[in-house]
Structure 1
Amino acid sequence: MAPTGSIRDRLVVAATELTTKEGWAAVTMSRLADMVGVSRQTVYNEIGTKPALAEAMILEELSRFLAKVDQAFLDHPGDLSGAIEAAVVGVLRFAEGNALLHAVVSATHGADTELLPLLTTHAGMLMGTAKAVIAERLTAYELPLTQEELAPVIDAIVRIALSHVMQPSGTPEETAAGISWIARRVLGS
């Protein structure tokens, strides 16, 4: 059966598989080319640099996490607190078994640590994307806050959830209940 998806998508999938099995240091453009059946130049044309590949992998994984958020809001129309709680539970449960996240967080040496800043100190694109999704979902609710007041609330909720993705301190349900309680108090819902 022929591989499906664009060459770029196939390269990102191959890089993710290689990272989860052997670590980020094992990912080379030549190796990806061999895995996908294209030339090394095609890898560079489709992806660019290795840091660009890392971002593509993280954004692809982020889309899976954000699908959990979207589903929670679809499952709880008119119930903002319930939607937030379900979103956090979904994200944290997904994080528990996420092979790429585990590979990134557990890497502690050499080139394998190159991915970690994309989830922590250099998480701008990740944060921006997540905050945009939450902001879009919140437009369905009448909240007693202006956009300027709502922005730091969204930022705080996303940062708290990401913190628990990276280093859980309780069960997904306990964490979600706490974040939902905070959201109810601040959002007035």
Structure 2
Amino acid sequence: MAEVTEVTEVTAAYEDPISSRSRIIAAAVRLTCADGWSKVTMGRLATEAGVSRQTVYNAVGSREALAKAMVHTESAKFVLKIAEGFDDHPDDLLSGVHAAVGNTLAFALGNPLLRAIISATHGADTELLPLLTTHSESLLGTVKRVVQDRADQYEIPLEPQQISAVIDIVVRTSMSHVMQPSATPREIADSITWLVARILGLTEAPTAPGA
């Protein structure tokens, strides 16, 4: 028995923190979404991730560093969904808007942590508010830049400052629906796409919501 314990300790000492990091962060997200950040301890996290407690510390450092890693990871997934929506429709702006909005809302629907991150952009109180407030402001700016970058690929009949204004409205409206959705992701995407089409004066605008 002593030999088994010794082997386990040696193995734990040589666990690669880099290869374990993503698994640990994913476990932290699961625990936070299930029970709240206050219930996430390094010991419980190690058990959930299937690694030693020392590996948790080696991979992510402090609890604050772990929280930052979670926020960055979930935010990156959110931004990627937006980019994918436009990239899947490089020749059709309205389809790109619809996919970007619908995909991100569907992704956020079952992700309490992501909703908390976005809620902080509107001053909502959350367990991670001190961390989220700063990062969520950065997230809002990042989302706008990603949408602006994608929008530059289309022929849009507006001046640059007008396009920026439309992007600001669409992004803020979409993020508000992440926090408090008023309909299904598809229905919200329909409404926002219709709004963009009306602003742009496009004849191929989808049917008005509720029509």
Q: Same fold (TM over 0.5)?
A: yes
Q: Report whether the alignment pairs 1:113 with 2:149.
A: no
Q: How many Å apart are 1:127 and its aligned residue?
A: 0.8
Residue 37 (structure 1) aligned to one of 43, 52, 70: 52
Q: Which runs of 5+ in 2 are unaligned?
A: 1-14, 119-124, 203-211
In 2, the alpha carbon distance for the partners of 1:41 and 1:122 equals: 23
Larger Rg: 2
| Residue of structure 2 in register with 1:131 after alignment | 144
Count the aligned residue pairs: 179
Q: Per-residue CA shift, 1:98-149, capped at 9, x if unaligned?
A: 35447889xxxxxx93236766796212212211211111121122334433
In 1, the alpha carbon distance for the partners of 2:126 and 2:110 equals: 20
Residue 173 (structure 1) aligned to one of 183, 186, 192: 186
Q: Percent identity?
A: 46
Partner SS state of residue 10, structure 1: helix
Q: Which runs of 5+ in 1 are unaligned?
A: 106-111
| Residue of structure 2 in register with 1:82 after alignment | 95
Which protein, 1 or 2, shows the higher relative CO under an 8 Å CA cutoff with sep ≥ 6? 1
Partner SS state of residue 69, structure 1: helix
| Residue of structure 2 in register with 1:68 after alignment | 81
TM-score of the pair, normalised by structure 1: 0.74
RMSD: 3.4
Q: How many Å apart are 1:76 and its aligned residue?
A: 1.8
Q: How many Å apart are 1:156 and its aligned residue?
A: 1.7
In 2, the alpha carbon distance for the partners of 1:113 and 1:77 equals: 37
TM-score of the pair, normalised by structure 2: 0.68
Residue 164 (structure 1) aligned to one of 165, 174, 177: 177
Cα distance change, pair 63–121 in 1 and its aligned pair in 2 (3 A): closer
Give the residue type in structure 1 aligned to 2:88. D
In 1, the alpha carbon distance for the partners of 2:101 and 2:131 equals: 20
